[in-house]
Amino acid sequence: MTFQVYDTTLRDGAQREGLSYSVVDKLAVARLLDEFGVGFIEGGWPGAVPKDTEFFRRARTELDLKHAVLVAFGATRRAGAVAADDPQVRGLLDAQTPAIALVAKADLRHVERALRTTAKENLAMIHDTVTHLVAEGRRVFVDGEHTFDGYRHDPGYTASVVETALAAGAERFVLCDTNGGMLPSQVTRAIVDLTDRIGVAPELLGMHAQNDTACAVANTIAAVEAGVRHVQGTANGYGERPGNADLFAIVANLQLKLGLPVLPEGCLEQMVRVSHAIAEIANIAPDTHQAYAGAAAFAHKAGLHASAIKVDPLLYNHIEPEVVGNDMRILVTEMAGRASIELKSRELGLDLAGHPETLSRVTNRVKELEAGGWSFEAADASFELLVRGELPDAAPVRPFALESYRVLVEHREDGAVVSEATVKIRVRGERLIATAEGNGPVNALDEALRVGLGRHYPELRDFELADYKVRILEGSHGTGAVTRVLVETADGRGGGWTTVGVHPNVVEASWHALVDALTFGLDRGLRHRV
């Protein structure tokens, strides 16, 4: 039976405090998860959450998934209703996904006290909804909410929930440790006991763990060792309370420690890139101490080991960091980061392998900028401009030079809020002054720049500022806080690029990112024309 890696970053992971994805964010995260090679992407609850309905609608035309199947998440039919007539159930079908995940109560106490229905009706709700969705041609997963707590309380009832779901045609019954209170040995015992009791193959079960005992990853591994062949997790362990099981650590442990090849070839080494890019989209600082994916995951501080590491790095690393796309770091050496910079440049079509000096220059420049708060993880276009700036034959064409700009924001007596920007620039020897309004200071600057450049570069009209993210970073080494801005530009043909700017002043940081965005787009156009 195929091993199923099932991601719920966009549904259960979105329960993390402070996290709120836009539809565009969700589409971008889904693309990244697909690049990481997961088999299933649970996208949200269509019908119940308007943003999720919209996500599934746009996914049909805007997502071209290579590895993953999209899954709509929802609940079993209401008590007393007919599945086919239940609007919530219809919402799931309307999402037009190949697969649907249904949450079902697996703990009798929750059936009676939270759902306020009977033990029998709960089973009927599961049976009817699964049967209906299967008849409509869907693959169905059933998430047993509070399976473990329920099984401890009343094993007979919880077992009957599992049997009902599978008998009705569910592809997997997922054991959910909803409150996250389990330990690995308890997971093992529960699965062995349950499978013995009802004679079900553990391959028909899945595992969904929460991290309330700091054992979510271990609980998931324990389930796999007990025969489960479907694991659920979220990128970077995002989720409610302490979070869900970190899918990256789960997958790395399965592949590298248990020898189970659960991802397609070539995907595991995307981990660090995908992990950090999703963190940027979620606007959460990446956890530098995350297992496998963290920037410090293979960082060695102890001088004690320095010479031994030179003898054999594997004496002091539990795996080769490159296998998950990470790097070993020992103090601040020139070696650090080279591998990932070379890899990333190659990805962008720039071969630095034969240019060790250029690679060193770029690595040093990146280190220097990152020490000042820059981050290129999610800003490929700025990174490409930086690398190409170090290659004499590939240096990008700068479309203009700045003399000065001025931005004004007014909240007037009548309550109107207006933004206005003026730029003074030189384009191909000509000095230009342009003024424009916008719905905010950055938009006004962008508009003024476009007015100024428009006559020389009419193709600018196709570029659109698609997204704009701001993060305030604490200063290090006594400097003040700085602002990091990410600007995503759409090229009007379904493509786009992301640029970054950093400065203590948010407007100046935005200006850097805007200039990189226009430079990248115009330069790319020029090169493609040649």
CA distances from 393 to 362, 388, 390, 397 (A): 15, 8, 9, 11
Residue 189 as a binder of a second copy (CB under 8 A): the answer is no
Instruction: Evaluate whether 262 touches 249 at the Cβ level (below 8 Å).
Output: no
Measured CA to CA, the distance from residue 340 to residue 522 in angstroms comes to 27
For a second copy, the binding residues in 21-40 under the rule CB under 8 A are 22-24
CA distances from 44 to 12, 154, 172, 286 (A): 8, 31, 19, 23
Provide, rounded to whole angstroms, the least separation between the CB of residue 403 and a second copy. 6
Nearer to a second copy, 171 or 384 (CB): 384
In this structure, the strands spanning 430-438 and 464-473 are unpaired
Provide, rounded to whole angstroms, the least separation between the CB of residue 113 and a second copy. 5
Amino acid type, 34: D
Nearer to a second copy, 32 or 328 (CB): 328
User: Of 49, 84, 323, 460, which one interacts with a second copy (CB under 8 A)?
Assistant: 49
Residues 6+ apart with CB under 8 A from 86: 77, 78, 129
Nearer to a second copy, 60 or 289 (CB): 289
Residue 119 as a binder of a second copy (CB under 8 A): the answer is no
Q: Where are the alpha helices (DSSP H) in 154-296?
A: 155-167, 184-198, 216-225, 247-252, 271-282
Among 470, 471, 446, smallest CA distance to 521 is for 446
Residue burial 182-216, b: 16+ Cβ < 10 Å; e: rest: bebebbbebbeebbeeeebebbbbbbbbbbbbebb
User: Of 90, 197, 469, 524, which one interacts with a second copy (CB under 8 A)?
Assistant: 469
User: Of 110, 132, 388, 450, which one interacts with a second copy (CB under 8 A)?
Assistant: 110
Return the HEC string of 201-215.
CHHHEEEEEECCCCC
Taking the CA atoms of residue 14, residue 17, residue 18 and residue 20 in that order, the dihedral angle to the nearest 10 degrees is 20
User: Of 60, 98, 118, 288, which one interacts with a second copy (CB under 8 A)?
Assistant: 288
Residue 79 as a binder of a second copy (CB under 8 A): the answer is no
For a second copy, the binding residues in 140-159 under the rule CB under 8 A are none
Nearer to a second copy, 351 or 505 (CB): 505
- Helices 119-135 and 87-94 pack at an angle, to 10 degrees, of 30
Residue 2 as a binder of a second copy (CB under 8 A): the answer is no
Measured CA to CA, the distance from residue 208 to residue 271 in angstroms comes to 20
Measured CA to CA, the distance from residue 286 to residue 306 in angstroms comes to 27
Write out the two tokens for 261: 């090849």
Using the rule CB under 8 A, give the single segment among 87-95, 122-130, 197-205, 218-226 that binds a second copy.
218-226
Provide, rounded to whole angstroms, the least separation between the CB of residue 482 and a second copy. 9
Residue 341 as a binder of a second copy (CB under 8 A): the answer is no
Window 291-330: contact mask with a second copy (x via CB under 8 A): xx-x-xxxxxxx--x-xx--xx--xxxxx-----------
Provide, rounded to whole angstroms, the least separation between the CB of residue 287 and a second copy. 8
> Other C-beta atoms within 10 Å of 265: how many?
7
Window 249-268: contact mask with a second copy (x via CB under 8 A): x--xx---xx----------
Nearer to a second copy, 83 or 442 (CB): 442
Nearer to a second copy, 179 or 270 (CB): 179
Nearer to a second copy, 183 or 201 (CB): 183
Answer positive or negative: Cα dihedral of 179, 180, 183, 186. Answer: positive
For a second copy, the binding residues in 475-514 under the rule CB under 8 A are 476, 480-481, 483, 503-508, 511
Measured CA to CA, the distance from residue 336 to residue 367 in angstroms comes to 9
Provide, rounded to whole angstroms, the least separation between the CB of residue 520 and a second copy. 19
Window 351-390: contact mask with a second copy (x via CB under 8 A): ------------------------x-xx------------
Using the rule CB under 8 A, give the single segment among 32-40, 189-197, 240-248, 427-435 that binds a second copy.
240-248
Using the rule CB under 8 A, give the single segment among 64-72, 117-125, 284-292, 358-366 that binds a second copy.
284-292
Provide, rounded to whole angstroms, the least separation between the CB of residue 328 and a second copy. 10
For a second copy, the binding residues in 383-412 under the rule CB under 8 A are 402-412
Query: Residue 471 burial by CB count (10 A; 0-12/13-18/19+): exposed, middle or buried?
Result: middle
Q: What angle do CA 308, 309, 312 make, to 5 degrees?
A: 90
Write out the two tokens for 151: 């099984």
